[in-house]
Every structure is written in C-alpha cells, then in structure tokens.
C-alpha cells in the first residue's frame, strides 16, 4: 500500500475495521468447514443465524458482500458480468445479490426532490406515495401522479450515498493494492477490476446518464409496437432525481404473470427475445440486466423495459468478431475460433495454444452437432467461459458482459417457455449480419477508414525514415535493449562473488589467528558468520524463484 493512502486509512479506520472483520469472518468459515466437529462448524453465523461453515465458498462471498452494504453489493453485480475472471459458478451466485439498503425517511426524500427540482413537492406532483416501491443500492423508487393526471415513477438517490461509496471505493483501492501482491489473486487483476468498478459506479451515480440511456432506447424502438420504453420527464429529472412513466403491467418475476387474462406468454417470450437480439445485433446498444424483475408484461402482449443504469455498447468491429465466433461454432472451425479468442482476449505469457485449440475443438464438435431447435446456448457460452478462465484469458469487459446477458436471457426465456430456442431465433440474424457486412454503405465506410489510415501513414512515414537516416549518418542512432529479468541475476552473481571473497578472506584470518581472543580470530569468525548468512540468503532466493534445478 502506498504511503499516500495512510491518511485515508486513518480517516476511515472504523469502516476499514468493519470490512476487514467481515471478510475475516467469512474467510475463516471456509477453514472451519474442514473440521468434522458440529460444534466448531456452528461457531460462525451470518446475520440470519445460519452457520457459515455449511455454505459453499460462492455463497459465503455473496453473503459477505451483502453484509458489507451498497458499494460491495454493486461490486458483486459488476463481477457477475465478468465470468471470465471470477468463474461462471461465482458469477451466477452473484446474480442473486439482494440489496438490503434501508430506505430514506419521507422527509429526507422530500428534501432531496425539492432541492434538486427547486420547487415544493406539492407543486411538482398531485400525489406522491412516501412508501417506496423498492430500494436499491443507489436510490429508491416512489410512485406519484402529476397534476396533468399521468402516473409516474420517481427514482430518488439516497442521501449521502455518493460520499459513502467514495469512502468504500478508496478502501477497495487499498485492498486491491494488497491483493495484487498475492500470487493466487493476481490472475483476477484486482487493481484493474477496482478501477473499472469505480468508473461504473460514478456513471450510475449520475441519473442524467441513465436518462440519456432511456431516451436512446426510446428512439431505437420508436416504431416497435411490441416494446414499451417508459417516457422520460426531463423537467422533473436531474442527476439525483429521475421521473419516468409508470408501466401498468406485471413483472416477469411475479408468479401470477402466468395466470393473467389476455396474455400469451409464447408471444411475450418471442417479443422479449427479439427485442434483445435487435439491441445486440442491430443497434449495438443493449440493456445490461435482463432480469425478470426488469421486464414488464403489458395487457397487449407487449413487453416493457425497466432500469437503464447498466447498459452495454458494441462497436462495429466487436460485433463482427462476435458474428465470426458464432460462424466458427456453426461451421466447426476450431482453428478460427482459437484465433478469435486469442485476438479478442488478453492471453497470459506462456499460453499453451495447442491445448487451447484442442479444448475448443472438442467444444465445437459437441455443440455444432446439436439441433438448432434444442440448442443449449447458455450451456455453450458457460462452457466457453470455463475454457477461457482455465487458460487465464481476460476478455474485454463489453464482450464478457454480452456473454452474461445472453446466458441470463436464455434462462429467462426458458423460464417462460421451456421449449423455446434462443439459437433458433438468432439464426435469421446471421443472414442479416452477412447482408449488412456486404452492404455497399458499410464497404464504403471501411474503405474510407482504410484510406484515411493509409493517407496518415503516407504522410508520416517519409519524415520518420528521413529522421532515422539522419541519426544513422550523424552517429546518433541508438538501439535500446530491455533485458527483462537480467538485473536480479546480475545482483545474485555479484552477491555470490562477494560471499565467496568474504569466506576466503575470513578463512585466511582464522588460519593466521589475526586479533585473537582465546586463540580464535575475532574478525575471521565474524566474517565466516556473515558469509554463511549471505550464502543462506542467496540459496533461499534462488530456491524461491524455482529456477535452481528446473529443466526447460
């Protein structure tokens, strides 16, 4: 940990203690679980009195995050979108995270709204229900009615949540610095993960960004009568207050949705799946949390979308790469699939490429032969993520999030219609993808981009070559070599020579009895002890590096 972080530790010492105590409790539970003594296993319990030692590692992590509060719950939700880093098992467990944030008092909510909108609450709304519909990690939602008669939902940010989250983010940054020093945690890239989390949280704390997302979804689906996006009320929205239309329907998470009159679930399922596939493969801008609680069934079999804080974006190149991956699976081209995975992801040094190719080949053979109408898309994506994680390949966050969305979407549609095949619905999009890639407009865009890059290269290259030739002629051309790993070896070599010299010199002093006490040379004895210590330290350093007798 850096010295500059010490004042933050001191200032937030109580929160540091709370976090470390909770992490220790849930981590200790895994160690206690190894004992076969029921009394010992029942020693540590969560807030509900459940013995932690009986729970799986993934469940303990989820419970620890829930106990630590909104920031850590949000961290868990972000990590659930990175199965390539944390593993599919933990990612699926983190999707169960439930926010247990206490609601703000009605007076606090009133003050926040009036401060943000600069008008009394009674002037803004004809009716305002002080009891929240729900309370999430960042804000809580209230139902209200405008003076014009429209029913709306008002999302209000929790008072002081920005300050609380900034404190936790500082603490997480400190914990990430410590975690980066542990070899077993380095593959999870703690500091990079916390930095990405900080960016996501700061975006979600700005409700104005969520309002812009909502407006973009509304434009994208303006002509689609099967999809309803709530209307935004810009004059009643700020960075801490968001007012949108109330969608009068039943959420997919409600068991009663199956018994609603005049609702055809098969149509709703198809409309919802079509909506997401259009977002991903056509707009390149998609809703990042297809949880049943964020999808509303409306009386005309239309489907409404809620919560626009977490969204994903795909640029044209990434969409093409995803299309190529789907094509490689269908055509059983494992070599192309291996090449795409290595190009898209950050491969670790010393990656066993032949072994990766064999695993992907077996994966392709298994899934490519499945009938389209019964294709297990969630299973295929889950297995691919397990292969990627096994080889420590870090995927781009946008691609990892997309895979998580497709897995959740497949689970949601199968919950409604067990026989529904998402892959069967994707198949027509492949033809659209091919037509779009071969369209003259897209080819012109690509040609313009290539031309601009060649033009820039043609402009820069002659000047750079001239500079290099001038340096060569004047004798100022230098080649800098970076000897990685050479400095520790040189240091050990120098230390070994010094240790040998000290040992030989001390042996001479002892043999000639220089400055004796009780017939023993004092400087010679001290030198022998020091040389023995240096030799032991050198041997320990070489052994610890694992390169003493290891064969290549």
- Distances in Å between the alpha carbon of 113 and those of 122, 212, 397, 542? 11, 20, 35, 64
- Alpha carbon distance 363, 342 (integer Å): 16
Q: Are 438 and 348 in contact (CB under 8 A)?
A: no
Residues of the chain below pLDDT 70: 1-12, 27-54, 98-101, 184-188, 330-331, 368, 372-373, 429-430, 437, 480-487, 544-552
- Helix 316-330 / helix 397-416 crossing angle, nearest 10 deg: 60
H or E stretch covering 411 = helix 397-416
Q: Are strands 139-145 and 241-245 parallel, antiparallel or unpaired?
A: unpaired
Question: HSE-up of 73 (CA within 13 Å, CB side)?
Answer: 15
Burial class (CB in 10 A: 0-12, 13-18, 19+), 217: buried
Q: Could you tell me which of 496, 527, 494, 532 has the C-alpha nearest to residue 509? A: 527
Task: Determine the pLDDT at residue 209.
Answer: 92
Q: Could you tell me which of 330, 332, 359, 526 has the C-alpha nearest to residue 434? A: 330
- Alpha carbon distance 190, 192 (integer Å): 6
Q: Are 400 and 83 in contact (CB under 8 A)?
A: yes
What residues contact 210, with CB distance under 8 A and at least 6 apart? Answer: 204, 242, 308, 309
- Alpha carbon distance 302, 297 (integer Å): 6
DSSP β-bridge partners for residue 251: 296
Task: Determine the pLDDT at residue 487.
Answer: 66
Q: Which two tokens stand for residue 287?
A: 């809703």
Task: Determine the pLDDT at residue 40.
Answer: 43
Task: Determine the pLDDT at residue 6.
Answer: 47
Task: Determine the pLDDT at residue 54.
Answer: 66
pTM of this prediction exceeds 0.85: no
Burial class (CB in 10 A: 0-12, 13-18, 19+), 48: exposed
- Distances in Å between the alpha carbon of 17 and those of 24, 138, 162, 454? 10, 23, 21, 57
């Amino acid at each position: 940990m850096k010295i500059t972080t010490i004042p933050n530790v001191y200032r937030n010492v109580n929160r540091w203690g709370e976090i470390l105590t909770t992490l220790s409790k849930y981590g200790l539970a895994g160690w206690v679980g190894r004992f076969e003594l029921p009394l010992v296993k029942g020693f540590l319990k969560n807030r509900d009195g459940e013995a932690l030692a009986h729970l799986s590692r993934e469940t303990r992590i989820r419970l620890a995050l829930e106990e630590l509060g909104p920031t850590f719950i949000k961290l868990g939700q972000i990590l659930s979108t990175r199965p390539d880093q944390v593993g599919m098992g933990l990612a699926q467990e983190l999707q169960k995270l439930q926010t247990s944030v206490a609601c703000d008092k009605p007076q606090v909510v009133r003050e926040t709204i009036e401060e943000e909108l600069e008008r009394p609450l009674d002037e803004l709304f004809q009716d305002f229900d002080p009891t929240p519909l729900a309370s999430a990690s960042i804000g809580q939602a209230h139902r209200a009615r405008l003076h014009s008669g429209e029913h709306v939902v008002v999302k209000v940010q929790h008072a002081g949540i920005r300050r609380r989250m900034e404190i936790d983010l500082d603490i997480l940054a400190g914990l990430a610095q410590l975690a980066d020093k542990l070899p077993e945690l380095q593959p999870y890239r703690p500091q990079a993960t916390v930095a990405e989390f900080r960016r996501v949280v700061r975006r979600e704390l700005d409700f104005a960004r969520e309002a812009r997302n909502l407006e973009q979804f509304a434009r994208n689906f303006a002509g689609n009568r099967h999809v309803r996006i709530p209307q935004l009320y810009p004059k009643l929205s700020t960075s801490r207050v968001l007012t949108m239309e109330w969608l009068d329907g039943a959420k997919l998470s409600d068991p009663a949705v199956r018994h609603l009159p005049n609702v055809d679930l098969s149509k709703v399922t198809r409309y919802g799946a079509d909506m997401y596939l259009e977002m991903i493969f056509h707009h390149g801008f998609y809703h990042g949390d297809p949880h049943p609680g964020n999808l509303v069934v409306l009386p005309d079999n239309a489907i409404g979308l809620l919560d626009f804080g977490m969204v994903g974006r795909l640029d044209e190149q990434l969409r093409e790469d995803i299309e190529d991956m789907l094509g490689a699976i269908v055509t059983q081209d494992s070599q192309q699939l291996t090449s795409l995975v290595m190009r898209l992801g950050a491969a670790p040094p010393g990656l066993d490429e032949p072994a990766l190719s064999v695993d992907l080949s077996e994966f392709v053979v298994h899934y490519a032969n499945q009938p389209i109408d019964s294709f297990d898309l969630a299973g295929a994506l889950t297995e691919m993520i397990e292969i990627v994680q096994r080889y420590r390949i870090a995927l781009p966050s946008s691609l990892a999030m997309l895979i998580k969305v497709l897995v959740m979407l497949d689970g949601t549609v199968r919950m409604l219609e067990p026989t529904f095949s998402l892959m069967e619905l994707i198949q027509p999009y492949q033809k659209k993808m091919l037509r779009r890639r071969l369209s003259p407009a897209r080819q012109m865009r690509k040609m313009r981009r290539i031309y601009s890059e060649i033009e820039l290269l043609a402009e820069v290259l002659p000047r750079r070559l001239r500079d290099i030739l001038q340096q060569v002629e004047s004798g100022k051309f230098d080649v800098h070599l970076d000897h990685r790993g050479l400095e520790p070896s040189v240091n050990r070599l120098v230390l070994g020579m010094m240790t040998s010299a000290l040992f030989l010199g001390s042996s001479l002093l002892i043999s000639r009895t220089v400055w004796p006490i009780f017939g023993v040379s004092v400087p010679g004895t001290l030198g022998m002890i020091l040389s023995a210590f240096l030799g032991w330290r050198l041997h320990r350093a070489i052994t610890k590096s694992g390169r003493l007798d290891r064969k290549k």
